[in-house]
């Protein structure tokens, strides 16, 4: 493949063949290496996702350079995706730097204001063949600096979604059907009937946010009903950090990052493998 791709073709392929492309949130070189190496080993398409705080932490130019190196060294489709960005001007700068996909999250705004903000991003991104994801509805929980209380959750209305897509010309839509960012307080309750109705009325790829901590069978049912991109973040951070903490408990005088990062990478790799299998995206390339 040898270059970063937009998500357009890979999500359409997933939609056609009834699987989902995993979008793994990374934070640094080590976590990027894990998701890339694992996806390449399993021949899975891959979306490398970065929230605003991750982009600020790692520097957009560094992230683009690392992702480009990964694309050049591996024969799988790889996209570098701006996840949950709210500022169109920042999105434009990051597109100029080399990001190949973006999500503009204006979901907390009223319907018409959401549309207006998304349209500005689409107009810019499409000039550079960068795909745009937007969100309609509100997921509970916290993602980066965006936090939604349980009482403020709003499920995606299928009729509103049709109008939203028509007016914005987005490439994919993140839907609110009962998932949440972060860990769940109990078993999640997903509105599968709503998802089915959305799929019947909408042609573009649908995205499931808040997939961490959702039982595998429920995630796979959403894929059967039309989800083509699954976002995973929290489920990666917890095993990575736990393994690093455990290493320091057993090696309190350790100081070499190459030593203490490795157990974290190994723990995270197991989760990435599992999530790729859940998404049924292995051996697609």
- 195-225 per-position pLDDT tens digit: 999 999 999 999 999 887 789 999 999 999 9
Going by pLDDT thresholds of 50, 70 and 90, the confidence category of residue 189 is confident
CA nearest 206: which of 52, 12, 4? 12
Q: Is residue 178 part of a domain?
A: yes
Q: Is residue 79 part of a domain?
A: yes
Q: Is residue 44 part of a domain?
A: yes
Kindly report, residue by residue over 21-56, the tens digit of the pLDDT: 999 999 999 999 999 999 999 999 999 999 999 999
What per-residue string of b and e applies to 120-151 under the rule 16 or more CB within 10 Å gives b?
A: bbbebbeeeebbbbbbbbbbbbebbebebeee
Q: Is residue 250 part of a domain?
A: no
182 is in an annotated binding site: yes
Q: Determine the pLDDT at residue 151.
A: 43
Q: What is the CATH number of the domain that holds 213?
A: 3.20.20.70
> What residues make up the domain containing 139?
8-234+271-279
pLDDT(149) > 80: no
181 is in an annotated binding site: yes
Q: Is residue 284 part of a domain?
A: no
pLDDT(145) > 70: no
Q: Is residue 247 part of a domain?
A: no
Is pLDDT larger for residue 185 or for residue 43?
Answer: 43
Which residues are part of the catalytic machinery? 83
Q: Is residue 263 part of a domain?
A: no
Q: Determine the pLDDT at residue 188.
A: 76
Going by pLDDT thresholds of 50, 70 and 90, the confidence category of residue 171 is very high
44 is in an annotated binding site: no
145 is in an annotated binding site: no
Kindly report, residue by residue over 236-284, the tens digit of the pLDDT: 999 999 999 999 999 999 999 999 999 999 999 999 999 999 999 999 9
How far, CA to CA in Å, does 52 sit from each of 55, 91, 152, 193? 5, 9, 23, 33
Q: Determine the pLDDT at residue 183.
A: 52
pLDDT(141) > 70: no
Number of separate domains in the chain: 1
Q: Is residue 264 part of a domain?
A: no
């Amino acid at each position: 493949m040898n270059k970063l791709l937009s998500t357009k073709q890979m999500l359409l392929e997933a939609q056609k063949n009834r699987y989902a492309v995993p979008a793994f949130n990374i934070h640094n070189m080590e976590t990027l290496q894990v998701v890339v190496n694992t996806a390449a080993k399993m021949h899975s398409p891959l979306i490398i996702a970065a929230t605003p705080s991750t982009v600020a932490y790692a520097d957009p130019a560094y992230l683009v350079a690392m992702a480009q190196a990964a694309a050049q060294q591996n024969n799988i489709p790889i996209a570098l995706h701006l996840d949950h960005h709210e500022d169109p001007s920042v999105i434009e700068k990051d597109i100029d730097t080399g990001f190949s996909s973006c999500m503009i999250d204006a979901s907390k705004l009223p319907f018409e204001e959401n549309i207006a903000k998304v349209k500005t991003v689409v107009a810019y991104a499409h000039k550079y063949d960068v795909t745009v994801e937007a969100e309609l509805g509100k997921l509970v929980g916290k993602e980066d600096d965006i936090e939604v209380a349980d009482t403020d959750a709003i499920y995606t209305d299928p009729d509103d979604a049709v109008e939203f897509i028509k007016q914005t010309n987005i490439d994919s839509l993140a839907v609110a059907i009962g998932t949440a960012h972060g860990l769940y307080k109990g078993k999640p309750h997903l509105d599968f009937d709503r998802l089915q109705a959305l799929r019947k009325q909408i042609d573009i790829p649908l995205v499931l946010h808040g997939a961490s901590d959702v039982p595998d069978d429920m995630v796979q049912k959403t894929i059967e009903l039309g989800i083509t991109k699954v976002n995973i973040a929290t489920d990666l951070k917890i095993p990575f950090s736990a393994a690093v903490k455990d290493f320091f408990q057993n090696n309190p005088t350790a100081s070499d990052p190459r030593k203490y990062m490795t157990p974290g990478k190994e723990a995270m790799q197991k989760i990435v493998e599992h999530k790729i299998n859940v998404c049924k995206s292995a051996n697609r390339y």
